[in-house]
Chain A
């Protein structure tokens, strides 16, 4: 009992509280609490749809979602991450902040941040997102629209604007190009 009391009392207020310490105390207390809170929030905020679940219709949410089952219709998680797990089979229009595909998707995918098709992931449809990553071994059929003003502004210098030529590598030096005719 005595030992338990000590452990509980340790993060409590110092013996001689100063103004600064008093001001810092709530923050320290918050820090002490935060990891557990975040963990529980994470656990709470990621929702899974299991392998055996079949959904037909419209799916809306304000939490991150992982789908391992079958969904047909429309999925909308505007400010959250949608993950299609390796067993997930989707025939739907997808709207999310970020979409990660490890399973199969047939339908258009729209993400405000990023679409990531991982190895063995499959998408048949049109993708609209400022950032798209397609891994080696992924299957994709459709078009990719990265035409957003923000992405243009954020990207590096355009090819026409690049003035300094990169130093040629030894392999390339041996393969200088000639103009035909």
Chain B
């Protein structure tokens, strides 16, 4: 023992070595994110988990009610309506957006003259996501607006978009198509990333046009498609601004026949809606936020499991 000690003492290096200095600097440089993570993410999440079991309106201390909020939630018609409306958008809008984006990306990948201009114009709406863009579409989709006028040239009587409860969500789908530019660009870079020699090999084997798309492009693009669908679902679950503006003065009611009562709009109404039954219902809203978190987690895990079955990764086996 004693020998080792003396040995250690003689071989002692300065405590503050270059490695230790680098370690300290690493923590120091990462500190902004770590602080933000603790203060703005972990802390709030734990607090909201606790709040979800309480009655809480910020001004008075939380009151423990156990599973009360969750019980109320599962008996709440508007909760189910908001879930239905949100899932409707996922099930109807996402497939349309995916097919349209991949198709336009395939067209753009043909390297036709003017390609840069096409890309720029199609991406343009993505820089305009705010209130102004919603107003513009509200104007275009009025019952006697521009779109219905265009439909009437083909002898179609346009519906009452944003007025008729049956047509509000389709109206949001039509409107949403204007923003597929970023999806298109991501698919385009995915397509461009596919090695050229694969196409050359297929050409030698006699494959042409659609066959190459079907057997090379789409399988190799599937990881990108998969990821876009996951982020698309998460994004759809968080729709707020559009619904809030479209429903206007009736945002607490969720628009015509509650047809635009999306999950986060309802959550917001419960938390901050001055017209709500009791004002700040933070406990109820926290319970809703946790259910949303669990839904999104479940969908993401399900997608990851499905991905193993239908996504083609170059290193793995094709299914």
Whether both chains belong to one complex is answered with no
Residues of A participating in the B interface, judged by any CB pair closer than 8 Å: none
Residues of chain B having any CB pair with chain A under 8 Å: none
